Structure 1
C-alpha cells in the first residue's frame, strides 16, 4: 500500500473542527496512540528515512496493536511512502523480540488523535505530547497507482480549509528528536 499523506501545523483544534464541520467532514472516532519506534542494527533508519514501530491504540477501552514498517518518502512535497502493517497480540513481547535480534528502541510518541472522514480522505487532528497542534490528511492507494493526483487533491483540501503553509514532511518522532537535540 502507498500512503499519500500531508501534515501541517494548525493554530487550534477548535478552529479546524469548525472548518471540517462546515465542509461536511464527519467525525469518526477518537483514540489514544502510543508508538514505540525502533532502529535497525544494520542501517540507521534516520539516514535511510525508514521507520519501524509498534503502535498501540485505545478507543473506549478497546486496544489494538500493530507493527508498521514505513519505507523512505518517495517525493519532495509530502510524506508519501510505502507502508506495511499487521496486527499483533502483545506489544511488550514484540518489543522484546525486536531487542533480542538487535533492534534498538528509539523513543515513544504519544498522541490523542481525532479522526474525520471526508470523501476518500482520512483526516486526523493530532495532539502529540510535546508538540503544537497538527493535522494530517491521507489517502491510501494500492502499490503501483500514481500518487500525484491524490497528492494534488490533498493540497487542494488543505487550501479549502485555509491552510497554505506550515506543511511538515518530518515525522512526529523526528520533530520530537529535533526538540531534544537543541
Structure 2
C-alpha cells in the first residue's frame, strides 16, 4: 500500500494505492482526491508519522487503444515502461486479461509487478 502526492501543472492530487490484487500484475484499487495545498498536506502526513520515501520523476505520454489507455513512462533512473490502464464497465478479471493481451500484442508479454518506487529503491542498493 502507498500514499502518493502528485503535483502537476493542472494541480495536485493525493492517491491511496491499495494492496496488489493478484500475483500477475500490479493492479490495485486507487482512490484519488484533489489537494489545494500539497505542502500543507505533506506537513500533516509527516505530523502523523508518515515519511517521504522517494520522489519518482517521470515523463508520461498517453495513447488511446480502444477502451484502454497506454501510458508510456520514461522514468528517471529506470528507463521506459508501458502501463495499460483500463477502467469502467468490465469486471476486474476481464480487465486484467485485456491488459495482458495488449502487452503480448506489443511484444511485452511479461508484466512487472513492482512499482517505480520499489524498482528505484532496489536500484539504489
- TM-score with structure 2 length normalisation? 0.93
Match of 2:121 in 1: 177
Q: Where does structure 2 lack aligned partners over 5 or more consecutive residues?
A: none
- 2:96 is the counterpart of 1:151: yes
User: C-alpha offsets along residues 32-55 of structure 1, whole Å, 9 cap, x if unaligned?
Assistant: xxxxxxxxxxxxxxxxxx010101
- Structure with bigger strand share is 1
Matches within 5 A, 1:29-44: none
Structure 1 Cα separation of the partners of residues 28 and 34 of structure 2: 20
User: C-alpha offsets along residues 119-163 of structure 1, whole Å, 9 cap, x if unaligned?
Assistant: 111111101110011110011247xx7311111111111122222
Alpha-carbon distance, 1:164 to partner: 2.1
Match of 1:66 in 2: 13
> Rg larger in 1 or in 2?
1
Match of 1:56 in 2: 7
Report if the CA contact (8 A) 1:141-1:147 is conserved.
no
- Distance change in 2, residues 1:82/1:169 (3 Å): same
Structure 2 Cα separation of the partners of residues 80 and 150 of structure 1: 10
- Across the aligned residues of Structure 1 and Structure 2, the Cα RMSD in angstroms comes to 1.4
Relative contact order higher in (CA < 8 Å, ≥ 6 apart): 1
- TM-score with structure 1 length normalisation? 0.65
Deviates more, 1:83-92 or 1:171-180: 83-92
Structure 2 Cα separation of the partners of residues 133 and 55 of structure 1: 19
Q: Where does structure 1 lack aligned partners over 5 or more consecutive residues?
A: 1-49
- 2:74 is the counterpart of 1:131: no
- Say which SS state the counterpart of residue 91 (structure 2) adopts: coil
Q: How many residues are treated as equivalent by the alignment?
A: 125
